[in-house]
Amino acid sequence: MSNKLFDQVGGTIKVALKGKNPEKIINMAISRGIYIWDIKKKGDSLDFRVRNSGFKALKAISEQNGFDLDITEKRGLPFYRNLFQRRLGFFAGALIFIIALYIMSSFIWFIDVKGNKNVATSKILLTAAKHGVYQGAAKWNFSRNEVEEAILRDMSELSYVRLDIKGVKAEIEVVEKILPRKDITGPCHLVATRDGVIDKVLVLDGQASVKPGDVVQKGDILISGIVFPEKSPYIIPDPEQEETEPEPYTVRARGQVTARVWYEGYGECRLHEEKLVLSGRELNKIYIETPWKTFLIKGKKDKPYPIYQQTLKKKEINTPIGKFCFNSLIIKEKVKQVKDLSEKEAVKIAREKAMASLEKVMGKECKINETRVDILSRPSDPILRVKVSVETTEDIVTAQPINTFRNSN
């Protein structure tokens, strides 16, 4: 019985022997120590197996005696080695590809954030990157539990963080904290946010403290949250019972109070305007800085224009002998441009500046009723100054809790 392990290491060959009396070749091979097995008769040929080490001797015996010896099958390590040698480039490339794929899969290339509504995704990504989770980060450089704890510690807006690594993708799932509402839900007054003249009062809940035409100041109560019930004129009092005053009660005042509000803004504009503009002429300079000296490669050393702006592009190279810099300098000429404005043009520019400053103060939903422009400067002044007065109609109410309300009067 053949040693299968030895046959796999040394290799075996299945052959077909053709000729008259093939038993003669079998006997001659066995007598010379050539190991033969699995002998089968198939038609006019004799099939059997022989070890790779004895194939050459068997082939020589067959050729000397006029027999044909054909190889039908090869098995064993030597024949696989030949295959590897013939396709070394293919197998080497496949091995390099597998190694590269393994290395690339050891890094994070995609990051996804889920569960956030109010907290910005960029803020979560920045915090995660601070603790080692970013695009291109190696998986072995961070611990998922440590990153989760660090993000929770740094971001007070979150109550839960989970980090999952799926291949080359990191998923950060968060749960935001439910913060208490800042809206006033208990009893409150509606007070004025600005000075003005009341235009319209609409009470949904509470008791009106003002009426159209009243002048109010900031902080005055417009709709009171303390309601004093009035006696109904349709109820006839009982003379036998003692008459009692109804008890006041508190509510969360609701309603709308619009008022006419006035704003004033200031703007100015020079009648004689000078400014610097680019003329279109420019000059390029290129020079190299070395540890010993600076060399001008292109351009002139002197400044070609009396007024100019310059842009420098610099590239540094550090070497063992020092730092070398390659500089590109672009010099652009500037010239003075003089412009005289008429009074009408100057008033328009100054008014636009004043309105721009007023828009920062006025409410977004206010309605402009009237605009007046007053010129403050004299005709001989080089600067035209204007005051813009604006009348608006807007809602001026804001809620103020009753228990914290203080009467300023």
**pLDDT tens digits, residue range 295-330?**
787 777 777 788 888 888 888 777 666 677 888 888
Q: Is residue 11 helix, strand or coil?
A: coil
**62 — pLDDT class (breaks 50, 70, 90):** confident
Both structure tokens of 172: 């950060």
Q: How far apart are CA 107 and CA 169, in angstroms?
A: 9
At 340, the amino acid letter reads D
What single-letter amino acid sits at 32?
R
* Mean pLDDT, the chain, integer: 81
Q: What are the percentages of helix, strand and coil residues in the chain, rounded to 5?
A: 25, 45, 30
Amino acid at site 255: G
Q: What pLDDT is attached to residue 406?
A: 44
Q: What is the pLDDT of residue 274?
A: 76
What residue ranges do the domains of the chain occupy? 4-82, 110-176, 189-271+341-409, 274-338
Q: How does residue 183 score in pLDDT terms, banded at 50, 70 and 90?
A: low
Query: CB–CB of 37/48 below 8 Å?
Result: yes
Chain-centroid distance, C-alpha 40: 75
Least confident of 189-198, 210-219, 370-379: 370-379
Please report the pLDDT score of residue 321 as a whole number: 67
Phi, psi (5° rounding) for residue 345? -65, -40
The Cβ of residue 174 has, within 10 Å, a number of other Cβ atoms equal to 23
pLDDT band at 275 (very low <50, low <70, confident <90, very high): confident
pLDDT given at position 404: 46
- Three-point CA angle 286, 290, 291, nearest 5°: 155
| pLDDT for 181 beyond 60 | no
- Give pLDDT, residue 249: 86
CB atoms within 10 A of CB 163: 21
Whole-angstrom CA distances from 328 to 282, 288, 291, 356 are 13, 9, 18, 41
Q: Does pLDDT of 409 surpass 50?
A: no
Residue 67 confidence (pLDDT) above 60: yes
Strands in 122-248 per DSSP E: 158-166, 169-176, 188-192, 196-205, 207-208, 215-216, 221-224, 226-227
Cα separation of 252 and 64, whole Å? 120
* pLDDT the model gives residue 86: 65
Reply yes or no on whether the pLDDT at 408 is more than 60: no
List, in sequence order, the alpha helices (H) in 18-107: 23-31, 55-64, 77-86, 88-104
**Tens digit of each residue's pLDDT (9 = 90 or more) over 46-58:** 788 888 777 878 8
Of 39-53, 237-251, 371-385, minimum mean pLDDT range: 237-251
pLDDT band at 217 (very low <50, low <70, confident <90, very high): very high
The whole-number average pLDDT for the span 251-261 is 90
Q: What number is the average pLDDT over the span 142-171?
A: 88
pLDDT given for residue 313 in this prediction = 83
> Of 35-39, 85-89, 182-186, where does the model show the most confidence?
35-39
**CATH superfamily assigned to domain 4-82:** ACT domain (3.30.70.260)
Choose the most confident range, by mean pLDDT, from 44-58, 93-107, 348-362.
348-362
CB 389 within 8 A of CB 264: yes
Q: How confident is the model at residue 7 (pLDDT cuts 50, 70, 90)?
A: low
Residue 405 pLDDT grade (very low, low, confident, very high; cuts 50, 70, 90): very low
pLDDT at position 377: 82
Of the candidates 189, 199, 245, the one whose C-alpha atom is nearest the C-alpha of residue 220 is 189
Residue 278: predicted pLDDT: 84
Rounded distance between C-alpha atoms, residue 67 and residue 28, angstroms: 13
Rounded to an integer, the average pLDDT of 193-217 is 91
Q: Per mean pLDDT, which range of 45-54, 83-92, 243-252 is the poorest?
A: 83-92
The packing angle between helices 144-154 and 121-130, to 10°, is 130
Mean pLDDT of 378-384: 83
Domain 110-176 CATH (choose: 3.90.950.10, 3.10.20.310, 3.40.50.1100, 3.30.70.370): 3.10.20.310
